[in-house]
Structure 1
């Protein structure tokens, strides 16, 4: 179970996140939605310890992570795929994947074989530099790197952004498989409504730094879409 309670975050004097609450059951897949600039990426970075929070709790399986550094949160089982992928362009695919191994709790130095099962292109391009890959291939690498840490929970920030349609479909299928077959808890920020409805079981909507709506994905109706999601 993953919960965020009463989370507040500031940039200078600006109150960016305002008493944000999330509750994600173990093994669920939740889509965090909302227009640009409402605080979604800031929330994910706060959850990962990449930016400080003013107050609130962030709990994974009952343990409060709010004061832990980012590396400790990774070692406690949270894998993170940031917006823009942020792979290391000068390292090979294999070297990028090995970076993910540093977050493993069991100390293993072996890249899990199922990463190559999910993303065969990574095995084919194992010795290619990350910067030589296409955008879709880099996104697969970023997800693979996060999975290398053997996380209990996977957080993805707009995994379909700038990706060609066939790779978007592949990534959606993989998220569903990770969720269904491995019981991996997933939280993702997603702007594409069709994709969110495909992979998500539940949704949260943010507006002006607040969580303003939540529910099962089939309860995401035209009224909510019109009020909070359409541009």
Structure 2
């Protein structure tokens, strides 16, 4: 569904992504992993059109995205949950969720009911400002906002960062349900190895901006963990 080939990206003169390849098969959950600062978030921002790439191909369902405007991704069915959530703190929960409706077109007027089915707390706090929610509730709101788009591909950048364990468990259950029961394709950046092994079908390891290993999640052995993930 999503394929990156030979992607290079720079910050000024600093070469961040080096001929990076990545494939996210349709209907599966792929976990992008690596130590802090190796380029994972940069890669996701490049996919979303938030950062330009110097060269290489980013294709979604065969359609080239590199060089195209960022808003095209949402229209094609890509939902994005950025690191740090980036909700609108002064807007209510309902207003945050409604932000995505306009992208779906003039006929989209209702927030999909499954958002509240997956995250009941959002339905209970519709009139509360986003900035007044706990960190875990804000993360649920950020995921719910992406799901309002009714995406075919959901991209999440460290959704469990700074979240209490019970919410981590709930988010994991939601991701597995969306992926395995509803067929939603997922690209996940995650540092927690047990969570990745419970949730993902495949992994891709990044080191210094390069893709260094990939395969089925069961192939993520102690040697690879020690070489590319251990601190």
What is the deviation of 1:106?
7.5
Is 1:84 equivalent to 2:84 in the alignment? yes
Distance 1:109 1:19 in 2: 42
Q: Provide TM-score, normalisation by structure 2.
A: 0.98
Is 1:103 equivalent to 2:116 in the alignment? no
Over 6 Å off, 4+ runs: none
Distance 1:102 1:10 in 2: 32
Distance 1:136 1:51 in 2: 27
Q: Is the 8 A contact 1:76 1:105 kept in 2?
A: no
What is the deviation of 1:74?
1.0
Q: Is the 8 A contact 1:7 1:54 kept in 2?
A: yes
Q: Is the 8 A contact 1:27 1:183 kept in 2?
A: yes
Q: Deviations over 1:154-179 (max 9, x none)?
A: 00000000000000000000000000
What is the deviation of 1:104?
2.0
Q: Which runs of 5+ in 2 are unaligned?
A: none
Is 1:139 equivalent to 2:170 in the alignment? no
Match of 1:191 in 2: 191
Q: Is the 8 A contact 1:75 1:105 kept in 2?
A: no
Match of 2:223 in 1: 223
Match of 2:9 in 1: 9
What is the deviation of 1:105?
5.6
What is the deviation of 1:102?
2.5
Relative to structure 2, which stretch is displaced further, 95-104 or 162-171? 95-104
Q: Which runs of 5+ in 1 are unaligned?
A: none
Match of 1:123 in 2: 123
Q: Secondary structure at the match of 2:226?
A: helix
Match of 2:180 in 1: 180
How many pairs were matched up? 231
Q: Is the 8 A contact 1:40 1:189 kept in 2?
A: yes
